[in-house]
Amino acid sequence: MSKLICQSCAMPMVSEVQFGTQLDGSLSQDYCTYCYQEGNFTDELSNLDDMIKICTVHMVSEGMNQEDAINILNNTLPNLKRWKVK
């Protein structure tokens, strides 16, 4: 399987339990289970800044330096499907 990352939060998705679900119960290839359930986003986030803040907290809690986390997220998230400027 090719390497997939969530197109909302950039989390690597390697096992099926990490995949979000579509309305019909099938797995989403685009979004992770934390972001996407039964065809809808689990959060009400409407902008990238809020997503970066939430992801930063998560990455810092896993031991990453805050500045590094913000840099990585700023470089990664804007390229994802959910946040790409239409």
Separation CA 32–CA 16 (nearest Å):
9
What is the closest distance, in whole angstroms, from the C-beta atom of residue 8 to Zn ion in the complex? Answer: 4
CA angle 15, 79, 7 (to 5 degrees): 30
x/- map, 16-55, Zn ion, by CB under 5 A: ----------------x--x--------------------
Q: Is 8 among the residues that bind Zn ion (CB under 5 A)? A: yes
What single DSSP character describes residue 16? G
Separation CA 55–CA 45 (nearest Å):
12
Q: Is 9 among the residues that bind Zn ion (CB under 5 A)? A: yes
Count the residues of the shown chain that bind Zn ion, applying the rule CB under 5 A: 6
